[in-house]
Amino acid sequence: MEDLTLTQEDGVWRSTSNTPPSHYVMKIQLFSQLAKKKIETYHSSDFEAGGYKWNLVVYPNGNKDKGITDHISMYVVMTQVESLNPGWEIHANFRLFLRDQNKNNYFTLEDVAGKPFHKMQLEYGFDKFVPLTHFNDPAKGYLVNDICVFGAEVYVTQEKLTGKGEILSMVKDAISYKHTWKIDYFSNLIGEYLDSQPFNAADQTWKIQLYPKGKGSGKDNHISLYLALAEPKKLSPATKMHTNFTIRILDQINRIHYFGTDSYWFSASNNLRGWPRFVSMSYFYMKSAGLLVNNSCIVEAEVTVNGMANVL
C-alpha cells in the first residue's frame, strides 16, 4: 500500500481528515522506546462512545500473532462488557487515525460496512494500518522527534461523545533505582506481613512487602515477596507505569543471591506485584544457603520505570 490516501477498497475507506478524532487521542513520546523495552502492544485506557467502553490498541511493530512485521497494526476493543445482558451484540463503524505532523492533518482508515461486536468478538481493526517504512520516514510526518499521535472514533446507535484522551511518555535510558532492606530478628516476626521503609524511584514512592509465613499459594511453606506502590491513592485512576523490577534475598555467605524478575503496569488499582512462592521456607532457613544469617536477612529491590501513561 504505497499510496496512503486510496479511496474505498474491500469495505475500508482510506482518506485524510483535517479534523482530529472525536472520541480518543493517544500521543506517544519516545515511540522508539516501545520496541527497545520489548513492549509489543499498548492498550489505551478506556474511552466511551455510543454508551459503551472501548480501548485503542497499537502494535508498534506489527501484530506478530497474525504474521505482521512490516506494518503498524491498530484495533479497537470493546471493554467492560460483563454487565451487559447475555446474548448482546452491537454494530459499530470505526475510524482509526494517525496524525501527519507536517501537514497538520490525519491519515484515517474507516470500516465502512461496520462490524458486529459480541462476547466472542470484542476486537476489530487493521492488521496493516500503515507500513513501517512510511511511518518511520520523517518526510511523511507521522513520527517527528520520536513523537506520534494516534486516535479513534467509534459510532454506534445513539452515539455519545466524551472527548477523552491520554498521553504515553516513554523514558529514554531509564535509570534503575536500588533499595536495600535489612530485617533483623526474623524468627521473631509475628505479623502477617512486614513493609520496608518507603523509597523513591522515578518520582514515585515504593515499598517491599514480605510475608514471613507466606501468602496465598505460598501460605505456611514459602516466603512471599512483593513490590508495591507505597501511596497508590495519590495516583489518578488513569495513571499507569510500565516497570521492570527485580527482588533479591542476598546470600550473605556464597554471594549467589536468590532473585525474581518481572515487568508490570503499576497503577492505583494494580499496585502490588510479586511472588507468593518466592522461596521455600526449608531453603530459606538452611544455614548453608546464606539467606538467613544470625537471624537477619537482607532484601533488595531494583526498580526501573520505562514509561508512564496519563490523561491528555
Strands 240-249 and 47-49 come out as unpaired
Euclidean distance between CA atoms 282 and 294, whole angstroms: 17
* Cβ(124)–Cβ(75) below 8 Å: yes
Q: How far is CA 125 from the centre of its chain?
A: 20
What DSSP element (H or E) covers 132? helix 132-135
Euclidean distance between CA atoms 177 and 161, whole angstroms: 42
pLDDT confidence tier of residue 164, bands split at 50, 70 and 90: low
Express as a percent the part of the chain with pLDDT over 90. 82
Tens-digit pLDDT profile for residues 296-308: 999 999 999 999 9
Euclidean distance between CA atoms 177 and 305, whole angstroms: 9
Strands 147-155 and 24-29 come out as antiparallel
pLDDT confidence tier of residue 160, bands split at 50, 70 and 90: very low
Mean per-residue pLDDT for 103-127? 92
User: 12 Cβ partners below 8 Å, 6+ apart?
Assistant: 109, 110, 111, 112, 126
Euclidean distance between CA atoms 171 and 32, whole angstroms: 10
Number of CB atoms found within 10 A of residue 4's CB: 20
Euclidean distance between CA atoms 66 and 249, whole angstroms: 41
Instruction: Specify the pLDDT at position 5.
Output: 44
Give me the domains of the chain, ranges plus CATH numbers. Answer: 12-170 (2.60.210.10), 176-311 (2.60.210.10)
Instruction: Provide the phi-psi class of 179: left if phi over 0, else alpha when psi is between -120 and 50, else beta.
Output: beta
Q: What is the mean pLDDT of the chain?
A: 91
Query: Residue 161 pLDDT more than 90?
Result: no
What DSSP element (H or E) covers 165? strand 164-170
pLDDT confidence tier of residue 9, bands split at 50, 70 and 90: low
Name the nearest CA neighbour of 54 among 169, 158, 164.
164
Angle at 97 between CA 94 and CA 101, to 5 degrees: 165
* Cβ(281)–Cβ(186) below 8 Å: no
Query: Residue 286 pLDDT more than 80?
Result: yes
* Cβ(217)–Cβ(208) below 8 Å: no
